Chain A
Amino acid sequence: MNTKPKRLRTFYLSLFFVILYIPVLSVILYSFNQSPSTAQWTGFTLDWYKELFNDRVIAEVFKISIVVAFLTSILSAILGTAAAIVALHVTKGMEKKINTVMILPLLIPEVALGVSLLLFFSALKLPFGYLTLVLSHSLFCVPYVYIMVQLRLKEIDISIIEAAKDLGAGTGQIIKTIILPLVMPSILTASLLAIAISLDDVVISTYMAGPTSTTLPVHIFSMMRVGVTPKINALCTLILVGTFFIVGLSQLISKTRKQKEEF
Chain B
Amino acid sequence: MFNLKKIKQNAPAVPIFVWTGLLVGIPLIYVVVLSFLSRDNLGNVVFEFTLENYKRIFDPVYLKVFYNSFLLAALTGLITLFIGYPVAYFTANLEPKRRSLAMGLIILPFWISSLLRIYGWIILLGNKGLINNLLLKFNIIKEPLIMMYNFGTTLVGTAYMLIPFMIIALFNSVDKLDRSLLEASYDLGASKWKTFFNITLPLTMPGIAGGFILVFIPSLGLFFISDLLGGGKNVFLGNLINAQVTKGRNKPLAAAFSVGMIVLVLIVLYIYNRITKDKKEGLFL
Interface residues of A (CB under 8 A from B): 1, 9, 12-13, 16-17, 20-27, 30, 37-40, 79, 82-83, 86-87, 89-91, 94, 97-105, 107-113, 115-120, 123, 135-136, 139, 142, 196, 199-200, 202-203, 206-207, 217, 220-221, 224-225, 228, 232-233, 236, 239-240, 243-244, 246-247
Contacts and interface: CB of A to CB of B under 8 A. Distances in A.
A93 B141 CA distance: 64
Given A38-B130, A40-B133, A196 B111 contact: yes
A115 to B, nearest CB: 5
B112 to A, nearest CB: 6
B206 interface: no
23 contacts: A23-B117, A24-B109, A24-B120, A30-B123, A38-B133, A79-B19, A87-B13, A89-B9, A90-B13, A99-B284, A102-B16, A102-B20, A104-B20, A104-B24, A107-B269, A109-B238, A110-B218, A111-B238, A115-B245, A119-B27, A120-B27, A139-B24, A240-B113
A86 B14 CA distance: 10
Given A117-B23, A224-B119, 20 more contacts: A83-B16, A86-B12, A86-B15, A89-B9, A90-B9, A105-B20, A109-B261, A111-B223, A112-B262, A116-B258, A119-B31, A119-B254, A120-B27, A120-B30, A123-B30, A136-B23, A221-B224, A224-B122, A233-B119, A243-B111
Nearest to B237: A111
Contact of A115 (B6, B20, B129, B258): B258
Nearest to B240: A111
Interface residues of B, number: 75
B71 to A, nearest CB: 16
Interface in B112-157: 112-124, 126, 128-130, 133
A24 B119 CA distance: 8
Given A94-B13, A135-B23, A200 B114 contact: yes
B111 A109 contact: no
B109 A109 contact: no
A12 B31 CA distance: 46
Interface string B1-27: 000001001101101110110011011
B9 A20 contact: no
B220 A116 contact: no
Contacts of B160: 20, 23
B115 A236 contact: yes
Interface stretch (B49-57, B83-91, B172-180): B83-91
B172 to A, nearest CB: 13
Contact of B120 (A22, A99, A123, A139): A22
A118 B130 CA distance: 39
Contact of A23 (B13, B121, B133): B121
A167 B29 CA distance: 48
A120 B269 CA distance: 25
A107 B83 contact: no
B222 interface: yes
Contact of A13 (B91, B123, B261): B91
Interface string B39-67: 00000000000000000000000000000
A27 B119 contact: yes
B258 A101 contact: no
A162 B258 CA distance: 48
Contacts of B111: 196, 243-244, 246-247
A119 B13 contact: no
Nearest to B69: A109
A217 B113 contact: yes
B90 A12 contact: yes
A27 B224 contact: no
Contacts of A25: 120
B228 interface: yes
B265 A107 contact: yes
